[in-house]
Amino acid sequence: MKALYLITFVCCFQYLALYAQEEQKVESRHNVSLTIGHEHVLNGRDENGKKKTLILPFWGIDYNFQLSPRWKIGLHTDFVVESFEVEKNLEGGEDDVVERSRPIAPAIMAFFKTSEHWSFGAGLGSEFAKADDYFLTRLTVEYGAEIKSGWEVFGSL
């Protein structure tokens, strides 16, 4: 099933790339950003084993390729800097807890820029750690502002 999602997502990227080329020719632009943020784990467990939403710090490296003035694709990778416990599935249970040891979470992303400052993105990826690997989806809303000579500062949710 994961393979089907990935194939569908890649096909959508190819369609977006063709659409972007027909829409308007632009110089291809590459950008790389270093990010810092917090990941929210809804099915986390505290040190006593009780359910708790965990807020974990991460560092991120994001690469984007500008297809057109409105579309970009990229690879966004988060490096969670703490180990934590999480329920293995949504049904839950006493024995369904797994420890995640500093997972790495790359995702292939597509962004649509609605105005000069606002972008909306969606992506698919995986979270890799020693215990297990998990499929992930990512939705993003970004607000960016150019500060000088191609440098930009942005906030993301």
pLDDT for 122? 96
Taking the model in full, what pTM does it have?
0.75
Place of tokens 């909306």: 120
Report the number of distinct structural domains present in the chain: 1
Question: Quick one: average pLDDT of 34-60?
Answer: 89
Is 71's pLDDT higher than 90?
yes
DSSP 41-52: EEEEE-TTS-EE
The percentage of the chain sitting over the pLDDT mark of 90, rounded to a whole number, equals 39
Q: Characterize the bridge pairing of strands 51-66 and 71-80.
A: antiparallel
Is 121's pLDDT higher than 50?
yes
The percentage of the chain sitting over the pLDDT mark of 70, rounded to a whole number, equals 78
Q: What is the C-alpha separation between 10 and 108, in angstroms, rounded?
A: 9
Strand partners, 41: 54
What are 141's two structure tokens?
Answer: 């809303």
Q: What is the C-alpha separation between 45 and 27, in angstroms, rounded?
A: 48
Q: Residue 105 belongs to what domain range?
A: 2-156
pLDDT of 141-152, one tens digit each? 999 888 887 778
Is 53's pLDDT higher than 60?
yes
Q: What is the C-alpha separation between 94 and 87, in angstroms, rounded?
A: 9
